[in-house]
Amino acid sequence: MTEVFRRIFGADPEGVWAAPGRVNLIGEHTDYNDGFALPIAIPQHTLVAARRRQDGRLRLHSAQGDGPVIDLRVDRLAPGAVSTWGAYPAGVVWALREAGHPVGGADLHVDSTVPAGAGLSSSAALECAVAFAYNDLYGLDLSATALALIGQRAENAFAGVPCGAMDQLASACCTAGAALHLDIRAGAHQQIPFAPQGHGMSLLVVDTRVKHDLGDGAYAALRAGCEQAARLLGLAALRDLTPADLPRAATGLPAPLVPLVRHVVTENARVTDAVSHLRAGRLAALGPILTDGHASLRDDFRISCAESDLVVDTALAHGALGARMTGGGFGGSVIVLAEEGRVEALGAAVTTAFRAAGYQAPHLFPVSPAAGARRIA
């Protein structure tokens, strides 16, 4: 990172920061409903080498891009002003300034191993890496939670994706060997021990290679539907419903909103159940919860795709403990919980099924809970 930074910008960086992607074990589309989620950080991460500038310029370079350095003025940053990948780091700088923090320009070189468009929060990893870099460069002394919320603000208001805060909180606040139990309404989180290998299990990520774009309007429509349902029910958020409330709530809603509400309410319950099992060391009991979560996303939220469903069905047919799509939907990745001895055969079966269906070969890799955002050099 230092060598490339020096070649691009003509000087050494002041430091290098890292922020991970994430896998959400359970709790999908619950964050913007004031609910619960249970993500882990993954070893794949985004690196940012950074150096302050005194002239108000923000210069951005990516190892994954083939274009020139993006050159911006921090005092001219505004939503809609940047349409490329640069919207995410630029949005962080804009959000910091909007929040009243006295930050100026910087040179930033970015490199990442988080697959883009795979539902593993590559955008949140980029936002958090930049936020943590700026926090140190400009001596802001902000907490990890505060920096995560800056990243969410950047994605919502600058990049135009109306996501909740789960992705950024996972990237910023996770710890190695644990899942992050998020209570979005309370603004609280707890570390829940999660070490599959210690229980003879593996968590496998299957990137279907179906790219998703959460800024294309479908995600926003789902969020709007959930918020409309809460208003019609006289609730602050769907978090306020329990599974026992669903029959009564359904009678007061237009039919298209009922399955959205059902997913959010039952998904919150699945997070609570998952946390209870993990605290008790019953990792295998997480499997059926994952599978039930996928069925809910497929049938009620309708955000799965044929490739994701094929992974889940094939994995379960070959002995997986559980499987589900992870992330915002419309493609991306599937997570599979399996006994370690079954992983190789299971992965081969998924690859064979994709070939038989005429799909592009999936990318499979195991993950374990990794550390959150931090300075590494």
313 is catalytic: no
Catalytic choice (34, 167, 207, 292): 167
Q: Which residues contact 295 (CB under 8 A, 6 or more apart)?
A: none
Question: In what helix (H) or strand (E) does residue 54 lie, and over which residues does it extend?
Answer: none
Question: Hey, CA dihedral for 96, 47, 324, 353, is it positive or negative?
Answer: positive
Quote the CA–CA distance of 333 and 46 in Å, as a whole number: 18
Question: In what helix (H) or strand (E) does residue 146 lie, and over which residues does it extend?
Answer: helix 144-153
Quote the CA–CA distance of 327 and 304 in Å, as a whole number: 10
Q: Cβ–Cβ contacts within 10 Å for residue 240, how many? A: 16
Please check whether residue 99 is in contact with residue 90, taking contact to mean a CB–CB distance below 8 angstroms: no
Place of tokens 């910087």: 106
DSSP state of 74: G
Quote the CA–CA distance of 35 and 29 in Å, as a whole number: 9
Tokens for 321?
């403990």
What are the catalytic residues? 167
